[in-house]
Amino acid sequence: MNGTEPAADSRLLRLDTCAVSDALDKLKINGTVTGLLPLTTARKIAGRVITVKLVAAHQDDDRSRPITHLGAKAIEVAWRGDIIVVEQRTGVVAGSWGGILSIGAKMRGVAGVIADGFVRDIDEARGIDFPIYGRGATALTARGRVVERETGGAVQVGNVRVRSGDFVIADSTGVVFVPADHLLKVLDTAEHIAAREFAMSKALLSGERITAVMGTDYERMLQS
């Protein structure tokens, strides 16, 4: 990590997915994913991404790789506060993450997991307060169904291309990815949007009419 990343993580965590998504819209950057829900805790997470790409077991033609369970390598290379992002878009119903992995990730200091797929052992992850976002849950094992093709490469989550080193924020509303090379610009824009919306909320609480508060300025707030 470079010296700017901890401060960026902290700034991102103070925001919410709506403000960051609005900032991406304003900057014309694709990054918002809908339909990934908190499965274990509603706690918001934000941090640097480590990617894992899964494929169907019958598509794995590389027999030279050491046999290691999916996600294990990502845990070993993770920094404290990182978020593991798993692509499981094979169409095969199987767990893309599980309970032993959650324990290993928690011990490593990983902030959470985002899986574009199904996840196992939800109760176990809840018991250790480990945040997982995903498409849903299944008891079906990955073994014999899906395997890890790559750690640290590009993955697809929803309609967003994600790379290791990018950043992500996830809360009960959604999941939003921020390309690393646009991070500071997105943070500045999102913080400005959040501050304006906070001022609008204060105006409403002080008795101003909502039609006055949410008028032309609000509708045009994301225009360049």
Summarised one tens digit per residue, pLDDT across range 12-38 is: 999 999 999 999 999 999 999 999 999
Q: Which domain holds residue 98?
A: 5-185
Which is more confident, 4 or 95?
A: 95
In a domain, 108, yes or no: yes
pLDDT of residue 4: 45
**In this model, does residue 196 exceed pLDDT 60?**
yes
CB burial readout 188-201, b (16+ within 10 A) else e: ebbbebbeebeebe
CB of 150 within 8 A of CB of 128? no
Task: Point out the least confidently predicted range of 43-47, 50-54, 128-132, 194-198.
Answer: 194-198
Residue at 218 is within a domain: no
Closest CA to 20 of 8, 9, 5, 31: 31
Q: Mean pLDDT, the chain, as a whole number?
A: 92
At 120, the amino acid letter reads: R
In a domain, 196, yes or no: no
The Cα angle at residue 193 between residues 111 and 80, in degrees rounded to 5: 15
In angstroms, the CA 208 to CA 196 distance is 15
Rg of the Cα atoms in the chain: 19
In a domain? residue 222? no
What is the CATH classification number for the domain harbouring 177? 3.50.30.40
In a domain, 151, yes or no: yes
The reply to whether 208 falls in a domain is no
Compare 99 and 224 and report the one with higher pLDDT. Answer: 99
Q: Please indicate, yes or no, if residue 203 is contained in any of the structural domains.
A: no
In a domain, 37, yes or no: yes
Give the span between the Cα atoms of 9 and 12, in whole angstroms: 5
Q: Tell me the pLDDT band of 1, cut-offs 50, 70 and 90.
A: very low
The secondary structure of residue 95, as a DSSP letter, is: B
Mean pLDDT, range 50-55, rounded to an integer: 97
- At 105 the pLDDT is 98
Torsion of CA 19, 25, 26, 28, to 10 degrees: 140
How many domains, in total, are found in the chain? 1
Mean pLDDT, range 119-144, rounded to an integer: 97
